[in-house]
Amino acid sequence: MNTPPSVENLDGLIQKIRQEGVERAQREADALIAAARQRAAEIVQAAEQRAAQLIREAEERRQQEATALQQAQERAARDWLLAVRAELNGLLRRLIQRECSAALAGPALGELICGVAVEWMRHGGAKDLELLLNEQDARALDDSFLARLQAELDAGVSVQPHPDIRAGFQIGGRGEAMAHSGN
C-alpha cells in the first residue's frame, strides 16, 4: 500500500526540512559567533597582558635610566669637587710657598739661622758649622751677619749655596753629614 504522498504531506515535509535546515544553520551560526567571541576575548586578554608587560618593562627601563642619570650626576659632582679641591690645594700650596719664601728671606732667615745654630752648639754640635742655602739666600747673608754669628757662637761658620735647596737651610758640622734641616 504504497500511496503516493499527498501535496499537503509534501509541503509539510519540505517545510519540516526547511525548518530543520534553518535551525541547523542558526545553531552553526551561533556556534561560529560564540567561537569568534571566545577568540576575540582571548585576543583582547593577550593584548592586555602584553600591554601590561610593555608598561612594566618601560617603567623598569625608566627607573634604570633615572638611577644611571643620578649616578652620573653624582660622579660629575664628585669629580668637579675633586677638581676644585685640587685647584684650591695647588693655590694654597703656591701661596704658602711664596709667603714662606718671603718670610725666610733677609733678616727673618738670619734670625732663624742664628737661633738654630745657637741650639746646635748648645747640644754638642761641631765646633765649625756649615750652612747650606739656596744661592740667592747665600748671597743675601752679608759678611756682618756671618761675623756676628761667629762671634756669638765662638765657632767658625761657612755658608755654601746648594742647588737642591729652594727655601730654608741645612746646618751641620763642617765636613759631616748635614744633621738639621730648617726648610
Quick check: 175 pLDDT over 70?
no
- What is the reported pLDDT for 176? 62
Q: How confident is the model at residue 4 (pLDDT cuts 50, 70, 90)?
A: low
pLDDT the model gives residue 10: 83
Say if residue 179's pLDDT is above 70: no
Which of the four pLDDT bands, split at 50, 70 and 90, describes residue 1?
A: low
- Say how far apart CA 41 and CA 86 lie, in whole Å: 67
Residue ranges covered by each domain of the chain: 1-103, 106-181
Radius of gyration in angstroms for the set of CA atoms belonging to the chain, rounded to a whole number: 54
Report whether pLDDT(149) > 70: yes
Q: What is the pLDDT of residue 27?
A: 95
The residue among 109, 111, 146 whose CA lies nearest residue 129 is 146
- Whole-number Cα distances in Å, 68 to 62, 65, 71, 72: 10, 5, 5, 6
Q: Is the pTM of this model over 0.75?
A: no
CB atoms within 10 A of CB 145: 18
pLDDT tens column, 110-121:
888 888 888 887
pLDDT reading at 93 higher than 50: yes
Higher local confidence (pLDDT), 139 or 24: 24
Name the CATH code of domain 106-181 (choices 3.40.1260.20, 1.10.760.10, 3.40.50.300, 3.10.129.10): 3.40.1260.20
Tell me the pLDDT tens digit for each residue of 49-84.
999 999 999 999 999 999 999 999 999 999 999 999
Is the four-CA dihedral 120, 122, 123, 127 of positive or negative sign?
positive
| Cα end-to-end span (Å), the chain | 146
Residue 173 pLDDT: 78
- Name the band, by pLDDT with cuts 50, 70 and 90, for residue 19: very high
